[in-house]
Structure 1
Amino acid sequence: MTPPMTSAGASAGRLFSPLQVGNVTLRNRIVSPPHGTYFAEDGLVSRRQLDYYETLARGGVAMIVTGSWAVWPRTMPNALTNRATDPRAVAGHTRLAEAVHAHGSILVAQLHESGRQGNTAAHRGPLLAPSPLPDPVVREVPKEMERSEIDDLVDHYVRSAEALRAAGWDGVEILAAQGYGPAQFLSPQMNHRTDEYGGSPAGRSRLLRTILACIRASVGPDWLVGVRMNGSDCVEGGAGPEQAVVLAETLAGSGHVDYLSISGASNEAYPLWIADMSHAPGLFVDLAARVRASVSLPILVATRITSPEQAEQILTAGAADMVGMVRALIADPGLPLKAQRGASTEIRPCIGANQGCIGRVLSGASMRCTVNPRVGEPRLPQRSIQARRVVVVGAGPAGLEAAVTAAEVGHRVTLLERAPHIGGQIALAARVPSRAEFGRILTFLEAELARTGVEVRLDRPAEVSAVRDLAPDEVILATGSRPIRTGFSTAFPGRDVLPGHDQDHVLPAVDVFSRPEAVGRRVVVLDDDPHGHATTVAELLAPDHDVTLVCRSISAGQWSGPANQIALYSRLQRAGVRILAATWASAVGDAEVLCHPTHAPQDVFAVPADTVLLATGNCVVDDLYPALRNELPDVAVRRVGDCLAPRLLDQAFWDGHQAALAIGREP
């Protein structure tokens, strides 16, 4: 774990010193590590991929390691991932190498085989693994690999490396971490073989060593070959830090490897290598330091390295030679150059929300970013802007993004906010320790308002007269949403209201921030909420209250998605929150809530409660919209964020960004 982040500049330290790795020289120590973008088209490099990786290179990153380049068809979960060896892929691979090299970055492909952590939807055959043990997330029993299948897999790794070398790439990285493919052979918990590919550390590493030896024999000594490996499997029965050091020494001694990239965990601790904002920064830094102390190879470390200052601390402490900043570079691909010129306050920060990046990928969609709506979008052609007078009403995330973007492209922007501060709902959420990084994006946006010249007027209620007096050419409404206070749930649409919802001790969940004195000791939170209000207030209150979370769904916090839900559950349980899943309320009494299983409404039981908090969704606050349309018929009025429809944070940023780009066009 890294020390706490400071505001010290990184531009003059080790972060921007060159580094020799194998036969290439990195211009600095910042790496974009592998991550699945789902930008491919039919498994081939797309225009969107070219734009994405070229933007990273233009922003100053030293090395890009592309993620999920499938070594054989079995690895392909769908057509949105890339094929390494398909002859049709050659032209795209060549164009990608040329685009990245044009901006001075090194390009490496991570060669990927999923093993039991794969997906059989595309090829319909069985998953292949060292032993027939199902993955805890995928939950499909794999076929134990036979010797011929192992030989075939090794051959595909070699062919993949040869294809990328021929296309002008600088190297490959073998994914042998996070429970994928070769990592399953390395793990005593996953590999129960008794032949030459199991049994002992040497046997379990045989597949990886064979892949590396065969690739090196094919590509020669001067082409870059790296390995991503675990510093620890982070699971009982898996390989720990001591075994990681032994493996690192073995790989370094082979002469086939130019660098090691240190990660950790597997699906048993999923997805720790994509840890959300509730986790401490630099989860695997200490593990990387142990490996670095044992070998002379350059060491890369990644996961929750979110700022240049933190990266500099890691390098200065001698924990690693390179820093992988996946999500930080997604949030702002210009991070390296901004940090190098001392403009860290202009870096759009990653907040570890995991909604737009891994959250979308896990849903089968292509990657985006919660706080950077430009990711994955085509580069817009430069066009002349006729500056317009724009009024943005509401300084939540949608309004802030709209105001900053509109000002950046040349419009004159005034931002009105009824509260004495900016931020809307995320300003409240940032007060919960595990959600504190919401504050980082607000700090950035506040600085951007000043940098781009937005006129900010706080304590200004949203009134027609206030907008009219500014004589706008266009108006963007970001007036948000308000809690639904009736207790209505779509699980029981025949109940228009929850009996007892209008009692004094029944409050909207968000009221705990403004009225903490109104919350009694025994709290019941009713969770039918797509936004995270219920779990957020439950976590906030748990240290000083007896909290019961009643969830109509089969689990709490489904808003968080598979990338965050396990961590959320762990925090709630550690805090002592009692979770009643697949349960709902039939009535609120004076000192209790009558509940029942969602599938058995007749089985009613009582849960004691001094305070009942409703987290049953929000409704739009758009009263100003028809009034402005009537009062200012010649002025374009656009709604964004929750004012348009209450949704998640990434959609608020997207709405605000798109509305700003649409200024001057028909609404």
Structure 2
Amino acid sequence: MNTRCLSDTVDLGEWRLRNRFAATAHGTGAVVHGAPSDHDIRYWEGVARGGAALIVLGGGALGPTGIRQANRTEVWRAEAVPAMRDRARAISRHGALPFLQLTDLGRETLGTETFYATRSSSDRRSPREAVSPVPMSDSDLEDLIASHLRAGRNALAAEHVGVELHAAHGYLLGQMLSPHVTGSAARLSVMRSVVRQIVNELRRMGLGVGIRLSVGDTSDSGLDISMLGETLDELSDLLTYVNVTVGMRGAYVRDMSTERPPLLDLIPLVREACPLPLIVSHAFRDREDMEDAVVAGADLVGLARPLIAEPQLPNLLLADREDDVRPCVSCNEDCRSFLPSLLCSVNPDLAPFGEAARPGSPWVIRPSTKPARSVSIIGAGPAGLEAAISLRSAGRDVTVYDARDHIGGALAMAASVPHRAGWRRLLDYYRNQLERLDVEVRLGQRVAGEDVAEADAVILAGGSEEAPAPPGCMNLTEALLAGPESFSNCPSVTVVDDGFGWWPSTNVVEMLFDAGVKQVTFASPSTSFWAGIPAESRVQLMSRLRGRGLRLLAATTFVNEVTGASLCNLLGAEFTPLDGEPVIVASERRSVPLIDVPSGPSVHVIGDAVQPRKVAHAITEGRRAAELLRAVK
């Protein structure tokens, strides 16, 4: 019987890890002149304190041509070493092992401007780039080796125990190890020998060396299982570990539409091809999947976004407190934008660079003048729920009211549509916390101001609602509430977006296809579609919609005036009548009118009740409202 479990210690070369949790490479963007800032150091110290055994620090740039973004650690510069050392020491101080990932993008640009031509192992163009790269010369290969060795020396001086070579997601070392990109067998042999020389020289310095590889996408620059085995045959005698993941740049960070870790079922095959300590990464969110990965042969489970949402995840899981883990929902809305630095939609404790806390300010209608020992919260959406658990954790008596018969507000509806079930994880977390903290929740109850007048404080979190659709049409909310069965006999449906390209209209489109609608016309007054949703989610969305009968009309809106219900092309003023088929129109979301609370309790307004925005704003304002009330002594 296999008894491997997440709490086991693991030997990684000469080092023994305290458990099987690895923080895989990501970055905060909190970098000053190429060196980690105090903000960045505090973040990674928090991850180490949270229990991760191995921490791979992401985004280490090998030189000015390697990563073309200003928020990366410039590991080639000696000036960055003191701050890098402080960061490594902060990690080691809490019992974790610090590795530093080294990255060169090669033919990829991340869509950013560069002063230099891109280079690769051949002139094969990336499907994500407009032009072909310059094939690397012998001199370029020598420079690549030298840049890795320079970075290795700086990593060693900064007290990192090892480095990870980034050969995944279509980046340079992955291009060099890819038969598809590199071309001939002779050229591939040369590229493998260069990578082997890099690994060998880094090992001779005394560093551990891991490598990150993508499984799949062999028509790009990924490897299938046999290619993975061939690659490791060349390198395994020198490597410390192998970190396997999936996907190419622009699509590898799977959103909530991916409900099962993509490599979980392949672990036995990967394990057979890999004679080294094996990290398996990507889309591990649930304890059961992590445990299954370890039983199947993974030595460590690689996590990034779940640790951004909840740095204490390893400690909480090892203490059998899974219900207390604030979950990553894989929305990709904040953690992938770096505007202005690493943030998380569900984690209000993760602050922007230079801030002590994530900015958020409730609308204060009546300030607190006395301690709020009893608090009434009107609305059980994410804003109200966050305020409730924050206040109850501080010992306040909290009652939550909502006219609906369930918690979640509009978020509950979003969680019910196809490929958006990640939001259920957040609602399950709040439900568990309400129960654990014994918060009184009164559902199906409309509340007037007089009903809460005896409380010390009232928080209005009633959310927002969508404005009515034009006559003869449905708005998005009505369509989602009607459900797919209402459209199952419709051969075609028209959906008119508001031009901002956010999720609600898209949710309706996917619901219609799941209902069996053969053709959906999607019209937008914008010249682009889905511009508001995260870039990587856009790629995954397009893959799901391909071949399903979607007709896109740009610069087009709905009118119902002179010609009757029609689509109007805004560039040519052409009208297309809509006869008979259902029309669903995205309308403006508006804050629900506030109830009038009699004088006595303080009154704060949060979330969509202030202004309809995203989940992140609601959660942050819920937390800040609780802090304001807790601060009054």
1:300: Cα distance to partner? 0.6
Q: Is the 8 A contact 2:121 2:191 kept in 1?
A: no
| SS of 2:182 mapped into structure 1 | coil
1:82: Cα distance to partner? 1.0
Aligned equivalent of 1:367, options 336, 342, 362: 342
| SS of 1:150 mapped into structure 2 | helix
**Structure 1: runs of 5 or more not aligned:** 1-9, 487-500
Aligned partner of 2:468: which letter? R
Alignment of 1:224 onto 2:208: yes
Aligned pairs (5 A) from 1:542-621? 542-543=513-514, 544-546=516-518, 547-587=520-560, 593-600=565-572, 602-621=573-592
1:94 equivalent in structure 2: 85
1:589: Cα distance to partner? 10
Alignment of 1:331 onto 2:298: no
Aligned pairs (5 A) from 1:114-513? 114-118=105-109, 124-192=115-183, 199-217=186-204, 219-220=205-206, 223-235=207-219, 239-252=223-236, 255-267=237-249, 270-271=250-251, 273-318=252-297, 320-358=298-336, 360-361=337-338, 364-376=339-351, 388-468=373-453, 470-473=454-457, 475-486=458-469, 501-503=470-472, 506-513=473-480
1:494 equivalent in structure 2: none
| SS of 1:405 mapped into structure 2 | helix
1:78 equivalent in structure 2: 69
Q: Is the 8 A contact 1:485 1:614 kept in 2?
A: no
Q: Distance in 2 between matches of 1:295 and 1:134?
A: 30
Q: Distance in 2 between matches of 1:478 and 1:74?
A: 49
Q: Distance in 2 between matches of 1:71 and 1:609?
A: 61
Aligned partner of 1:527: which letter? D
1:657 equivalent in structure 2: 623
Q: Deviations over 1:468-488 (max 9, x none)?
A: 1x4223x322211111225xx
Q: Distance in 2 between matches of 1:644 and 1:25?
A: 51
1:168: Cα distance to partner? 1.4
Q: Deviations over 1:180-199 (max 9, x none)?
A: 1211222233335x7xxx74
Q: Distance in 2 between matches of 1:185 and 1:609?
A: 57
Q: Is the 8 A contact 1:52 1:376 kept in 2?
A: no
Q: Distance in 2 between matches of 1:208 and 1:200?
A: 13
Residue 330 to residue 563, structure 1, CA distance change in 2 (3 Å) = same
Q: Is the 8 A contact 1:71 1:112 kept in 2?
A: yes
Q: Distance in 2 between matches of 1:110 and 1:507?
A: 51
Q: Is the 8 A contact 2:211 2:241 kept in 1?
A: yes
Residue 460 to residue 244, structure 1, CA distance change in 2 (3 Å) = same
| SS of 1:291 mapped into structure 2 | helix
| SS of 1:205 mapped into structure 2 | helix
Q: Distance in 2 between matches of 1:343 and 1:531?
A: 35
Residue 341 to residue 533, structure 1, CA distance change in 2 (3 Å) = same
1:424: Cα distance to partner? 1.0
1:234: Cα distance to partner? 4.7
Residue 462 to residue 140, structure 1, CA distance change in 2 (3 Å) = farther
2:494 equivalent in structure 1: 524
1:492 equivalent in structure 2: none
Residue 462 to residue 598, structure 1, CA distance change in 2 (3 Å) = farther
Q: Distance in 2 between matches of 1:157 and 1:411?
A: 55
| SS of 1:367 mapped into structure 2 | coil
Aligned partner of 2:211: which letter? V
1:42 equivalent in structure 2: 33
Q: Is the 8 A contact 1:51 1:379 kept in 2?
A: no
1:533 equivalent in structure 2: 504
Q: Distance in 2 between matches of 1:476 and 1:77?
A: 45
| SS of 2:399 mapped into structure 1 | strand
Q: Distance in 1 between matches of 2:443 and 2:218?
A: 48
CA RMSD of aligned residues (A): 2.7
Aligned partner of 1:278: which letter? S
Residue 122 to residue 287, structure 1, CA distance change in 2 (3 Å) = same
1:50: Cα distance to partner? 1.4
1:495 equivalent in structure 2: none
Aligned partner of 1:307: which letter? D
| SS of 2:444 mapped into structure 1 | coil
Residue 78 to residue 513, structure 1, CA distance change in 2 (3 Å) = closer
Q: Distance in 1 between matches of 2:186 and 2:526?
A: 44
Residue 155 to residue 95, structure 1, CA distance change in 2 (3 Å) = same
Q: Distance in 2 between matches of 1:42 and 1:636?
A: 46
Residue 261 to residue 315, structure 1, CA distance change in 2 (3 Å) = same
Q: TM-score, normalised by structure 2?
A: 0.90
Aligned partner of 1:662: which letter? L
1:138: Cα distance to partner? 4.4
Aligned equivalent of 1:55, options 46, 57, 65: 46
Deviates more, 1:344-353 or 1:447-456: 447-456
1:489 equivalent in structure 2: none
1:372: Cα distance to partner? 1.3
Q: Distance in 2 between matches of 1:121 and 1:613?
A: 37
Q: Is the 8 A contact 2:181 2:220 kept in 1?
A: no
| SS of 1:182 mapped into structure 2 | helix
1:437: Cα distance to partner? 2.2
1:560: Cα distance to partner? 1.5
Deviates more, 1:327-336 or 1:522-531: 522-531
Residue 199 to residue 376, structure 1, CA distance change in 2 (3 Å) = farther
1:133: Cα distance to partner? 4.3
